[in-house]
Amino acid sequence: MLRNLFFTTSLLLAIFVIQKSYASDENIDRVYDENIQSVILYSGTDQLNPPVMELGTTNNLVLAFDDMSHDSYIFNYTIVHCTRDWETSDLQPMEYLNGFLEGEIRDYAFSLNAIPEYVHYELRFPDADMRIKLSGNYIIKVYINTPEEGNMILTRRFFVIEPLATIDVSIPYYPKEIQFTRMKQQVDLVVFAPNDLFMTEAKQRVSVMIMQNGRWDNMAKNLHPTSVMQNEMSFNYTNGILFDGGNAFRNFDMKSFWYQSMYIKSITSEPNGYKVVLYTDLPRAGKAYETIETINGRKFIKARTEQSTSIEGEYAWVHFTLKYPEIKDADIYILGAINDWEYNEKNKMVYDPDTRLYHGQLYLKQGYYEYLYSVLPKGKTVGDVTLIEGDHFETDNYYSVFVYYRERVPEYDRLLGYSYFNSKLVTTLD
């Protein structure tokens, strides 16, 4: 990728290029430059918070990442409004943004005593120069010069809510399909809103999305209410809204390279950085559920207490091995925020017939990481964690519920309700 240091594009040209490029770029969480590592996007001051902010408040989001480079750059960014399905909406940038339509990331610092060297960048947004006017799905795009193909650095999705609707959720112990008892988790929900909000074409205009932990592949999408009564909408599907219970996330702690924590077999210092080898993982399907405290597949980038994580945290190649018979018609992936919940070549395991083990490796900054092994059949987009990890109703999963309303003038998807909850806290015996 050519990194040009000159940023003298006129505003009109920038607007034209931005609008032209929106239609062709994918609105997903992705890193397009191999030098970019450890991307996190969160709300407030806790990096474990989901990237959700409330419209009309002073709340902001934090985007942070490392560039494995010796030189600093001034990266540009813009914010794009999306539909509930993450397509670029038909709104013009000036309809959903106040102020400037693009900004610069100027907050950066060079690493200190780290091998290899890198530059750490941080951005807090929205700010006084770029404010968001409408609720909905958004994506922030970071790029060099203009957001054309070849200039994109990274993209990250986030949510802006208008808290007009409230959501009542529960997970019944006995799902509608009895054969899934003590395996699947059925999410029951009722949405409440002011009487005049959903009175017009509620079944057509209202839709709900449900996300389990941070997974995008198995989201329940475009759920429309089955009944509407005054200010109450029910989502009472014949077979229920079901998710695999799965299992507690596996984890390893490498906040320090001075000692080997549980699940780490060895740590070695090499000329180009560290190498961390994890103990071989074994399948857990068919075994009893074991309660483990987890952060539900998220990552927590953190070095030792006496270190400044942002510029002193170091990197390591982390090696994974899994003892599992070779699967001919599917691939096995390491799944979690550890790799942005994606399925790609970086987190795909490779089978070695000599050792009869699956092998994989990821390049990670010091911190605490969680993951599962997911099996993705050839030609499919939804992975299955139950084949290797097992399937348990007791699993501690976090769910996010998003309630959208299709506005007519201007036409866009408003995000009017949001709920983030722990499955254990809403389980009922009904």
Structure confidence by residue, pLDDT tens digits, 268-288: 998 888 999 999 999 999 999
pLDDT digits (tens, 9 = 90+) for 286-317: 999 988 899 999 999 999 989 999 999 999 99
pLDDT of residue 19: 44
Do 415 and 403 touch, CB atoms closer than 8 A?
yes
What is the arithmetic mean of pLDDT over 50-76? 95
Q: Assess whether pLDDT exceeds 90 at residue 11.
A: no
* Tokens at 28, concatenated: 């997903």
At residue 156 the predicted structure's pLDDT band, cuts being 50, 70 and 90, is very high
Structure pTM? 0.91
Q: What one-letter code names the amino acid at 381?
A: T
pLDDT digits (tens, 9 = 90+) for 333-353: 999 999 999 999 999 999 999
pLDDT of residue 430: 60
At residue 16 the predicted structure's pLDDT band, cuts being 50, 70 and 90, is very low
**Who wins on pLDDT, 315 or 10?**
315
Do 243 and 105 touch, CB atoms closer than 8 A?
no
Q: Assess whether pLDDT exceeds 90 at residue 26.
A: no
At residue 4 the predicted structure's pLDDT band, cuts being 50, 70 and 90, is very low
- Chain centroid to Cα 48, Å, comes to 11
- Chain centroid to Cα 258, Å, comes to 30
The residue among 232, 198, 163 whose CA lies nearest residue 415 is 163
Q: Assess whether pLDDT exceeds 80 at residue 25.
A: no
At residue 229 the predicted structure's pLDDT band, cuts being 50, 70 and 90, is confident
The residue among 290, 159, 157, 282 whose CA lies nearest residue 216 is 157
* Tokens at 272, concatenated: 């180009």
Half-sphere exposure of 79 (CA within 13 A, CB side): 30
The residue among 197, 209, 65, 86 whose CA lies nearest residue 142 is 65
pLDDT of residue 427: 77
At residue 420 the predicted structure's pLDDT band, cuts being 50, 70 and 90, is very high
At residue 320 the predicted structure's pLDDT band, cuts being 50, 70 and 90, is very high
Q: Assess whether pLDDT exceeds 80 at residue 3.
A: no
In the three-class reduction of DSSP (H, G, I as helix; E, B as strand; rest coil), residue 180 is classed as: helix
pLDDT of residue 24: 41
pLDDT digits (tens, 9 = 90+) for 356-411: 999 999 999 999 999 999 999 999 999 999 999 999 999 999 999 999 999 998 99
pLDDT of residue 6: 34
Share of the chain above pLDDT 90, in %: 81
Q: Which residue carries 């559920």 as its tokens?
A: 289
pLDDT digits (tens, 9 = 90+) for 166-175: 999 999 998 8
